[in-house]
Amino acid sequence: MSSALISVIITTYNRPDALTAVVDACFAQDERGFEIIIADDGSGHNTQAAVAALQARAPVPLRHVWQEDLGFRAARARNLGTLDARGDYIIFLDGDCVPQRNFISQHRKLAQRGYLVQGSRILLDQAATERVLRQHIDLQSLSTTEKLAWRRAGGLNKVLPLLLTLPDIGRTSKRFTWRRIKSCNLAVWRADLDLVNGFDESFLGWGHEDSDLVVRLYNAGVLRKDGAYATEVLHLWHQENARDQETSNRAEVLKRAAAGTVLAVKGLRA
């Protein structure tokens, strides 16, 4: 894994200021062995203009895949990004999750055949998020003193994972857990995504398409590795999406978990 190309797939929808902050943080990574694919769930011209501006100064390959806005279709957007990706290892990142400077190199260190890596996140509150975007604050450059001050003021929901990096020891488990499944920071081998046919595009509306992927990967023999205290991202505040499909989506995931389902109904090879 030391020299393999990593594809970072960043999902976005009509939030060009946050997307710019995330991609700028990717540009500032401490390594360059990666490419970026913006997986766009139907954003308008403002996002297209932001992506064009980012492409003009990108130090790594940056491409933009787009689909028509037909509601929340994050699963299909991520599949479009996967199909465009050229790397053997894929990191899924949301367009409002700002990575630390060593985010990609830490994911590279944790990459292990037979495992996905579930990354971790730290939440910013609304006031801190608005300040970051309005003042174009570089979150990667915050000093320890500043991070502690933000935590005391309630701008961050936790701070210790930003101050302490733990080694790759005791991170794997053979047991399945529902805890902290989040596709906003998730690393998967491309071969394993092909094995389960990627995200399932039949999941429409907000919720649980990421849990479905992890369940099917587990059913296929791909285990989880914990990326906490190594791969944290700073998750900018946003209003919650409508969750009208959450109950039915969750019920489908539970059914697939019990049935041992591996393949997406409508996925990469749909």
Domain assignment present for residue 269? The answer is: no
Domain assignment present for residue 266? The answer is: no
Domain assignment present for residue 18? The answer is: yes
Domain assignment present for residue 71? The answer is: yes
- Measured between alpha carbons, how far is 118 from 113 in angstroms, rounded to an integer? 14
Domain assignment present for residue 1? The answer is: no
Angstrom CA distances, 123 to 5, 22, 57, 108, 213, stand at 29, 14, 28, 23, 23
- Measured between alpha carbons, how far is 3 from 75 in angstroms, rounded to an integer? 28
Indicate whether 76 pLDDT > 70.
yes
Summarised one tens digit per residue, pLDDT across range 178-188 is: 788 888 999 99
Q: How many domains does the chain have?
A: 1
**Taking a C-beta distance cutoff of 8 angstroms, is the pair 107, 231 a contact?**
yes
* Residue 207: domain span: 6-259
Domain assignment present for residue 264? The answer is: no
**Taking a C-beta distance cutoff of 8 angstroms, is the pair 141, 248 a contact?**
no
pLDDT at 239: 79
Q: How far apart, in Å, do the first and last CA atoms of the chain sit?
A: 29
Summarised one tens digit per residue, pLDDT across range 199-236 is: 999 988 777 899 999 999 999 999 999 999 999 999 99
Indicate whether 31 pLDDT > 70.
yes
Domain assignment present for residue 22? The answer is: yes
Angstrom CA distances, 97 to 20, 160, 203, 240, 269, stand at 11, 18, 22, 15, 29
Beta-bridge partner residues of 35: 7
* CATH number of the domain within which 78 lies: 3.90.550.10
